[in-house]
Amino acid sequence: MSARQEHGPKPSESRVPALDAQLDALYQPQSFTRRAVASMLQARYPVAALLFLTLIALCAAFAPQLAPKDPNRIEIFDTLKPPLTYDRDGELEYVLGTDSTGRDVLSRVIYGARISFFVGLAAVGLGGGIGTILGLTAGYLGGRTDDVIMRLADIQLAYPFILFAIMILTILGEGVLNLVLVLGIGQWVTYARIARAETLVQREREFVEAVRALGATEWRIMFRTILPNILTPLIVIASFNVAGVILSEASLSFLGLGVPESVPTWGAMLANSRNQLLSGSWWLAIFPGLAIMITVVSLNILGDWLRDFLDPRLRGSGQGL
């Protein structure tokens, strides 16, 4: 009997070719993108959500080119025109009608996408950045630093956010930047608590101990070693929070605490439609309401898919949708 028969095949010869091909594909740079596209196409609903969000994002980016009229132009003789109103020459003039001052509803809906997208992304970016840094610091350093940061989070959670936002906006006044600041501050606690919990787990892992043994500084360990390993749940939470921030912006604008009247927003359009609902001018509330609903539902669908796709325990089980 030969030595090869006695000791069995070499390790390199015992590997299954199909498994080798799968492992090689897994570590290719394009593998993540291909798996994401395949998962999204399999789920179907995230594709439709992405198409809706892309359409709304294009409306926000190219609002001056897409809007048929100036969103703030008042036509006193064209007030409360219903959708699909034609002019005297037989051409379609108001696709979605006009409001009580003669302003074109379609143009205001298109321009309103700008504020909703900007406020949603900017507030989540601000709150997510602050919360991630504070949670990472609290989880890694521990001790008194952890106590101070978490007690601040508990204090904010004990105070209703809507009252906090009303108080701050009453002091600072209207404005897009003030609105982003308030909504961003209201989001940091969620990210801080998740980042702290993940950091408490990661800081005890072997690779962190190895980096520490090599002489890396505490800040390098926190931001170069631990932070990349805790981003997945934070990204998923951010995808859901964008939808929540858009609803908060609409609520504050509905209360008259959002942006100035000259800036069209979906929430402000809903607020201005209150007095006309009983008179039969249904389009004033329906179209901005549909814009908010489609945006929020699309973001929630994408967030749900992203959560399932990034969770290795759910991968391969249909990706949730």
Phi, psi at 102, each rounded to 5°: 85, 10
Q: Which residues contact 63 (CB under 8 A, 6 or more apart)?
A: 110, 111, 113, 114
What letter does residue 255 receive in the DSSP assignment?
T
pLDDT tens digits, one per residue of 153-173: 999 888 888 888 888 888 888
Structure-block tokens of residue 114: 């700008």
Read off the tokens for 2. 């030969």
Confidence of residue 151 (pLDDT cuts 50, 70, 90): very high
Q: Which helix (H) or strand (E) holds 245?
A: helix 231-254
**What pLDDT, on a 0 to 100 scale, did the predictor assign at position 14?**
41
For the four alpha carbons of 53, 54, 55 and 61, in that order, the dihedral sign comes to positive
What is the residue whose two structure tokens read 């926000």? 60
How high does pLDDT run on average in the chain? 82
Query: What whole-number distance in Å separates Cα of residue 311 and Cα of residue 244?
Result: 22
For residue 218, what are the contacts with CB-CB under 8 A and spacing of at least 6? 140, 141
Domain 113-310 fold:
MetI-like fold (1.10.3720)
Q: How far apart are CA 105 and CA 309, in angstroms?
A: 38
pLDDT score of 273: 84
| Strand, coil or helix: 17 | helix
What integer pLDDT is reported at residue 13 of this predicted model? 43
At 27, the pLDDT band (50, 70, 90 cuts) reads very low
More confident residue, 14 or 185: 185
Note the pLDDT of residue 133: 94
Which among 60, 112, 49, 59 has a CA at the least distance from the CA of 259?
112
203-230 average pLDDT score: 87
User: How many angstroms separate the CA atoms of 232 and 211, rounded?
Assistant: 21
Running DSSP on this structure, what letter comes out for residue 104? B
What's the pLDDT score for residue 187?
87
**Higher pLDDT, residue 317 or 289:** 289
Confidence check: pLDDT of 180 > 60: yes
Question: 230-259: b or e for each residue (b if 16 or more CB lie within 10 Å)?
Answer: beebbebbbbbbbbbbbbbbbbbbbeebbb
The stretch 285-303 carries a mean pLDDT of 89
What pTM value is reported for the model?
0.75
Kindly report the number of other CB atoms within 10 A of residue 268's CB atom. 24
| pLDDT for residue 105 | 93
